Copies of this chain bind each other. A is one copy, B any other.
Amino acid sequence: MSKNFIMIDGNEAASRIAYAFSEVAAIFPITPSSPMGEHADAWAAQGKKNLFGQTLEIIEMQSEAGAAGAVHGSLTGGALTTTYTASQGLLLMIPNMYKIAGELLPTVFHVSARSIAAQSLSIFGDHSDVMGVRQTGFGLLASNNVQEAQDLAAVAHLASLESRIPFVHFFDGFRTSHSIQKIEELDYETLRSMLDMKYVEDFRKVGLRPEDPMVKVGAQNPDVYFQGRETVNNYYAATPEIVRKYMKMFEKKTGRSYDLFEYIGAPDAEKIVVGMGSGMDTVKETVEHLVKKGEKVGAVIVRLYRPWSGEDLRKVIPESVKKIAVLDRTKEPGAPGEPLYLDIVQTLVGRNIEIIGGRYGLSSKEFTPAMVNAVYDHVDGAAFHDFTVGITDDLSNKSIPVKENIDVEQDGIVRCKFWGYGSDGTVSANKNSIKIIGTETDMYAQAYFSYDSNKSGGYTVSHLRFGNKPIRSEYLLTKSEFIALHRPQYIGRFDILEGIADGGTFLINTTEEPENVFNNFTKKMQDEIIEKNVKVFAIDGFKLAKEAGLGNRINTVMQVAFFKLAKVIDPDKAIELVKKYVEKQFIKKGKEIVEQNWKAIDMAVDAVQEVPVPKKAEKSVEDTVLVPEDGSEFGKKIVEPIWRMKGDQITVAEMPVDGRIPTGTKRIEQGGRPGPVITKWAAKNELTQNMDVQWDEAYFEYPGSCMGCGEVPYIHLISQLYGDRMMIANATGCSSIYGGTFPAVPYTTDSKGYGPIWANSLFEDNAEYGFGMRLAVDANRR
């Protein structure tokens, strides 16, 4: 079988496999899992076939609760069914998950694991959601990167069919779901060769059919329920071996090896960490680095979390191990420890090992080699249990110290960072670049994009890696050989050159002449450039794009400059490929567009100019003022570092304890318009279609909160007033409030999705549930 490589993200990798194994998918979108359903929907529309020659049937429901109900119903009818979800979406599936597991219905839920809203909502990744369903009787299988999101998705489907245990197959939200990597494709031929149709037929046989009616039990009483509940034990006991069977079969077919628990590191390690998810790739990288240096460290990667096989775990831990730190990417306040830690303690009773547990990476908090190192140091040092790594906890003092970044990445790696802003084309251009390199060369590539909460016009930072081996660094760039600044306005706001390598390259898109560029840097940038011998180049992307007829779309120009300077591959070859891809991309829009782009490419090649770097700077620019000197404490301590992308440095004691923050944070940036003074209350019947201009303050008298994220609409209302216009969000969508814009995702009562309605009708629709609303006039605004 010839190997075929593809450049895709984790969501697409999992969704491809789910498609192959399913007849029905019941879906409801939630970040960061939505693309899985969207891919499936698009493929079905194109008539793509599953392994059985059928087109997937997609049912979009009114919420994740409905999706889970539809999955249960569809499985009950004997159709192979899947779904995709995360976070609160997964929580809404819990009641049906108990049922599906209790009835031994094989299925796989693909989950891009995400935080659960607590003191605040977060769309980012950790294991709070999947850990929140560990009690349902589902199997839980963890993938650590895009390749695995594909491979273990297949293992999950195969094992579920044979074992009759339903599975959650999960991978880290954003870090894996949205990371683009070059992976080996699994084709249908391979999948079919591993699938024994006997299990599919067995499943279909127990489906309910009117021709052969059976009852699925409605109610069991104290006399028999307990016995009924214990009938599943042998199925769970058999499952770990079934999962391993498919992992081994998989290895035979593809050469890629997996096991329930995998030990990595020194065979005589004395201290190890245990964990699961993308962080374990970083642990692996760090362990290899430390072992090379002679340290006796190791780690256990947990893949099959449920059903738990203690026996298998005990086998892989070397006799030499004396100390273990278990890393959980979740927090369960009030528990004696996080879930993985508790299981490890139980499993290793009787072995003389000191075991502690810690938390890391909540909500996609970075988890770097330096932090892994810090955990090993902690195990040898203070070694207290219930520690945190990656933050500074000056309130409950649970955090451990982390030393400076260490570079443990593979030899010959090239790391490139791009500063852009939403909708400027930077991210698309980078996706294009890695596709070119990943597809047209033998190199491996990885791309991860970080955004702020602004949907459009906010910053984007692209983190690209290129190397000769698969890339397993699952964290943002800590060092960059190449940095490009597509938006010069960021100078003085962000730490643009953070982590630039000695002798690295810095490209700036600017309208300044080369000789003026250096003087327009901050002092800190100038010092870094001089000290690290950074080569600086400039290009006037806007001018070139305009000349080529591309308007403000600087992406093609900047891409060419990147290929010319970064030299990841031969620049001449690269530029030919960019032209080829441009043609492929735009030919539908007409030859003219293609030629405009070609023109831009040709111009860009010659337009890159080196910026002269003096021994010492003559002058420099000051940092932009974001929060005025006389700004509020909250503005200075929380808002300012967040706006400078230094929010990681905010300590626990500085954060609000219960999620309450002052209103009008957006106004700080807009010059600090004063807060509202309430002068008048509206009666209920004064609510009008034009309330957004008539009223400035509104709240529900009995606000319900969203059953998805748990946000209270009242909150949204209060906040929205400082946005463009007043909108209301509830169960079907959420507003992003914290330090960002307030996109309009309005309330609807028909459960169909998104569409604007006004507060007046919201009030009317919900009056029967005790919702009421009051409005007030803000004197400052009149």
CB distance A219 to B120 under 8 Å?
A: yes
Given contacts A94-B91, A132-B94, whether A659 and B102 have CB atoms under 8 Å apart is yes
Could you tell me if B118 and A215 are in contact, using CB atoms closer than 8 angstroms?
A: no
* Contact status A231-B656, CB under 8 Å: yes
A398 lies within 8 A of B233 (CB): yes
When A660-B215, A774-B210 are in contact, do A334 and B718 touch as well, CB less than 8 Å?
Answer: no
Which of A414-422, A587-595, A732-740 lies at the binding interface? A732-740
In the complex, A625 has a CB within 8 A of chain B: no
| Chain B residues near A361 (CB-CB < 8 A) | 226
Q: Are B705 and A72 neighbours in the complex by a CB distance under 8 Å?
A: yes
Which of B74, B124, B392, B707 has a CB less than 8 Å from the CB of A65?
Answer: B707
- Contact pattern, A 347-390, Cβ under 8 Å of B = 1, otherwise 0: 10100000100010111111000000000000000000000101
Tell whether A2 is near chain B: CB-to-CB under 8 Å: no
Q: Known: A224-B642, A334-B307, A706-B69. Is A234-B396 also a contact (CB below 8 A)?
A: yes
Q: Given A74-B702, A228-B656, A712-B76, A139 and B334 touching (CB < 8 A)?
A: yes
Residues of chain A in range 753-777 having any CB-CB distance to chain B below 8 Å: 769-770, 774, 776
B66 near A396 with CB under 8 A, answer no
Q: Is A538 an interface residue (CB 8 A)?
A: no
Instruction: Check B231–A362 contact: CB distance below 8 A.
Output: no
Residues of chain B within 8 A of A740, CB atoms compared: 219
Residues of B within 8 A of A444 (CB): none
Q: Are the C-beta atoms of B699 and A208 separated by less than 8 Å?
A: yes
The 0/1 profile, CB within 8 Å of B marked 1, for residues 90-119 of chain A is: 011011101111111100000000011111
A659 proximity list for chain B (CB < 8 A):
102-103, 216-217, 228
Interface string of A59-92 (1 = CB under 8 A from B): 1011001101110111011000000000010011
Interface residues of A in 722-750 (CB under 8 A from B): 734-738, 740
List residues of chain B with CB within 8 A of the CB of A342.
342-343, 345-346
In the complex the two chains form, is A675's CB within 8 Å of B213's CB?
yes
Residue among A228, A650, A735 with the most chain B CB within 10 A?
A: A228
Residues of B within 8 A of A630 (CB): none
Residue in chain B with minimal CB distance to A750: B768
Cα distance A218–B719 in the bound complex, in angstroms: 9
Complex interface residues of chain A between 237 and 291 (CB less than 8 A to chain B): 237, 239
Known contacts A226-B365, A655-B228, A657-B104: does B95 contact A118 (CB below 8 Å)?
A: no
* Contact in complex: A660, B216 (CB < 8 Å): yes
* Alpha-carbon distance between A72 and B651 when the two chains are bound, in angstroms: 28
Bound-state CA distance A62–B208 (Å) is: 30
Contact (Cβ within 8 A) A661 B217: yes
Residues of chain B with a CB closer than 8 A to A235's CB? 657
Q: Which of A307-347 contact B (CB under 8 A)?
A: 307-308, 310, 331-337, 339, 341-343, 345-347
Option from B206, B237, B345 in Cβ contact (under 8 Å) with A349: B345
Instruction: Pick from B77, B224, B708: contact of A647, CB below 8 A.
Output: B224
CA A430 to CA B65, docked complex, whole Å: 43
In the complex, A141→B461 CA distance in Å?
A: 47
A217 touches B662 (CB 8 A): no
Q: Which residues of B contact A69 (CB under 8 A)?
A: 704-707, 710
B96, A94: Cβ atoms closer than 8 Å:
no
A92 to B97, CA, bound (A): 12
Which residues on B sit within 8 Å (CB–CB) of A511? Answer: none
Give which listed residue, B216, B231, B712, B713, contacts A655 with CB less than 8 A: B231
CB 8 Å contact bits of A219-231 with B (1 = contact, 0 = none): 1111111111111
> When chains A and B are docked, how far (Å) is the Cα of A392 from the Cα of B231?
11
Report the separation of the CA atoms of residues A705 and B362 in the bound assembly, to the nearest whole angstrom.
33
CA distance A700 to B72 in the complex (A): 12
Asked whether any CB of chain B lies closer than 8 Å to the CB of A306, the reply is yes
The contact string, 1 if C-beta is below 8 Å from chain B, for chain A 380-411, is 00000000101111011010000000000000
Chain B residue numbers with a CB within 8 Å of A10 are none
Residue A214 at the B interface, CB < 8 A?
Answer: yes
A517 at the interface (CB under 8 A from B): no
Q: Does A715 contact B (CB under 8 A)?
A: yes
> Are B102 and A216 within 8 A (Cβ)?
no
Query: What mask results when residues 685 to 710 of chain A are scored 1 for a CB within 8 Å of chain B, else 0?
Result: 00000000000011111111111111
What are some 7 contacts across the A-B interface (CB < 8 A)? A95-B117, A103-B658, A120-B218, A206-B658, A210-B774, A220-B738, A230-B391
> Nearest 8 pairs between A and B by C-beta?
A223-B647, A102-B118, A218-B737, A99-B710, A73-B703, A120-B217, A307-B334, A225-B363
